[in-house]
Amino acid sequence: MKIKLIALVGLLKVIPSMAQEQKVLDIKKADTTSLKQVETETAAKEKTAAILSTEQILMIQKSTLENQKESQKIKSVAKREAKKLEKEQKKLDKEKQRFERTQDRLADAEKRLIKFQEKLVKEKERLEKMNAKLDKNKRKGKLSEIEIEKENIKISKQIIKIQELQDDIDKSQKKLTKLRD
């Protein structure tokens, strides 16, 4: 568009200079009486050339304005499309992050559940050993009544610990099923 305008301005500068060259040649060939006649004719031609060129300028300006409007429309449509794509991309990114967070939470819940189950197994083994040791020492008669009560208290604490672990396992399983749904 700018190129057309520059070319048009260049033509406007060239046309009058061409008319002047023609005028100089006519002066050399003609005598003084015909000189006046040629000058008036060339002046008339310059005026019509200037009128045509201004009309052409107006037409070119109109077409450049139309082209500018079209390009602005295209740019605005492209901007809208870019914004839509950006929004869509952000939405997809958020969805992906939510999914990843959910997967991380799910994996953590599974790890916690496994950890609690392993602890429960260990604590049950420990309780069995405590009971076996108490029974063995009772049979041998090595323990006094106070020592037996102390061992019973330890066993009771161990049973409470196992129940707490079982509660933690139940909570972990509920949380895991909730996350899966």
d(CA 62, CA 55): 11
Work out the pLDDT band at 157, boundaries 50, 70, 90.
very high
The pLDDT tens digits for 114-139 are: 999 999 999 999 999 999 999 998 88
How sure is the predictor about 49, in pLDDT bands with cuts at 50, 70 and 90? Answer: low
What distances in angstroms separate CA 35 from CA 19, 31, 32, 44, 94, one per listed residue?
A: 15, 6, 5, 14, 85
Give me the phi and psi of 28, to 5 degrees please: -65, -35
On whether the CB atoms of residues 53 and 11 are closer than 8 A, the answer is: yes
Listed by start position, the domains of the chain span 2-180
pTM: 0.53
Nearest CA-CA partner of 122 in 170, 114, 4: 114
Q: How far is CA 72 from CA 1, 66, 77, 78, in A?
A: 13, 10, 9, 10
Give the model confidence (pLDDT) of 55-96 as tens digits.
Answer: 888 888 888 899 999 999 999 999 999 999 999 999 999 999
Residue 143 has pLDDT above 50, yes or no: yes
Rounded to the nearest angstrom, the gap between the alpha carbon of residue 79 and the centroid of all alpha carbons in its chain is 15
The C-alpha atoms of residue 140 and residue 174 are separated, in whole angstroms, by: 46
> pLDDT digit string (tens) for 170-179?
999 999 898 8
